[in-house]
Amino acid sequence: MTNNRLLPYLLIAPATVFLVLLFVVPLVQTIALAFMDNGVASLTNFRKMAGDLNFGLSIGNTFLLVLAVIPLQICMALVMAMMIQKMDKGRDLVLWIWIIPLGISDLAAGLVWLAILQDRGYVNTVLNMLGLVDGPVNWLSYEAPVSLFVGVVLAEVWRATAIVLVILVAGLQLIPKEYGEAAEIFGAGPWTRFRKITLPLLKPSIQSALILRTVLAFEVFAVVYALSGRNFPVLVGEAYAWQHVNQNNGVAAVYAILVMAISLAATVIYIRALRTPPEMQP
């Protein structure tokens, strides 16, 4: 009896210990680091962060990136998922090809797009062959903020839309096809069926995808770093720079906490805004 009662706790103990050691402890330490200066409680690190030239820029850039990438990814993944849903043959093959980017690390993805977009990259080669540009154009310099931003968005969309797609495809498969058929019988065209039936029933999956993607998007770093270095400052990039370039782990900790706070806030907003009341669940 005693054994049986203890067993569940024993089984979850390794995971719990692991998480406490490698997640909770560093979290507490980070918070301590942020609020300390030379061993004394202080807000110096916060003041340093706020006074930095790149601070406003990195917040602006990160939000701009999230606002551009997330809606684009959700729309694209929705369209792709709906197209896959209509396929009979080759469905799995197409899905498989579409989710290949999932298997690539974000730094590698950034390097792939660097190879495409850098001044001697594929884009310039093609444009040159077509006679559209004379010589290499630097798309990723800080003097070309628009093309730099577009490049980062492209790379992020290419890299991370697949995870949204997988979540939405799984969600679509959970919706019984009779709902769509009933709507069709009772006069709804394809667009109306999508809006009035599919989208509301897919809401829980969209919510999961949004939370996951938004949290990860606020943590965007490697892709941006590969493409632009610090020409396009983002929050996690600044944390990295304060830690390793400026050797100031206090300010780096403040950045880390800021990113966490923003992610938490976004999650809370999504949970509130896209709530499906239990009585409306199938």
Partner 1 sequence: MSGIRIDAIEKRFGAARALEQLTLDVEDGEFLALLGPSGCGKTTLLRIIAGLETQTSGRIFIGGRDVSALPPRERGLAMVFQNYAVFPHMTVYENVAFGLRMKGATAAEVNKQVERAAGLLHIEPYLERYPAKLSGGQRQRVAVARALAVQPAVLLMDEPLSNLDALLRLEMRSELKSVLNSSGTTTVYVTHDQTEAMGLADRIAVMHQGVIEQIDRPQALYERPATRFVGGFVGSPPMNFIDMPVKAGLARLGDFTNPVSTGRDTITAGIRAEDIAVVERGGLPFDVMVCEPLGATLLLTGRVAGQLARVAVRPDAVVAPGDRLNLEPSPGRIVWIDPANGKAIGQAA
Q: Which stretches of the chain bind partner 1, using CB under 8 A? A: 176, 178-179, 181-189, 192, 197, 200-201, 276-282
Angle CA(260)–CA(262)–CA(263) in degrees, nearest 5?
65
CB of 136 to partner 1, least distance (A): 53
Rounded to whole angstroms, the Cα distance separating 147 from 119 reads 12
The β-bridge partners of 37 are: 40
Q: Closer to partner 1 at the Cβ: 247 or 281?
A: 281
CB of 274 to partner 1, least distance (A): 13
Helix, strand, or coil (residue 87): coil
Helix, strand, or coil (residue 190): helix
Rounded to whole angstroms, the Cα distance separating 234 from 63 reads 9
Angle CA(136)–CA(139)–CA(145) in degrees, nearest 5?
150
Rounded to whole angstroms, the Cα distance separating 282 from 272 reads 20
Q: Closer to partner 1 at the Cβ: 37 or 184?
A: 184
User: Residue holding tokens 């974000």?
Assistant: 106
Q: Closer to partner 1 at the Cβ: 207 or 249?
A: 207
CB of 210 to partner 1, least distance (A): 18
Q: Closer to partner 1 at the Cβ: 126 or 182?
A: 182
CB of 10 to partner 1, least distance (A): 38
Q: Closer to partner 1 at the Cβ: 56 or 200?
A: 200
Tell me which H or E stretch contains 127.
helix 122-129
CB of 281 to partner 1, least distance (A): 6
Q: How far is CA 281 from the centre of its chain?
A: 27
CB of 193 to partner 1, least distance (A): 10
Q: Closer to partner 1 at the Cβ: 145 or 176?
A: 176
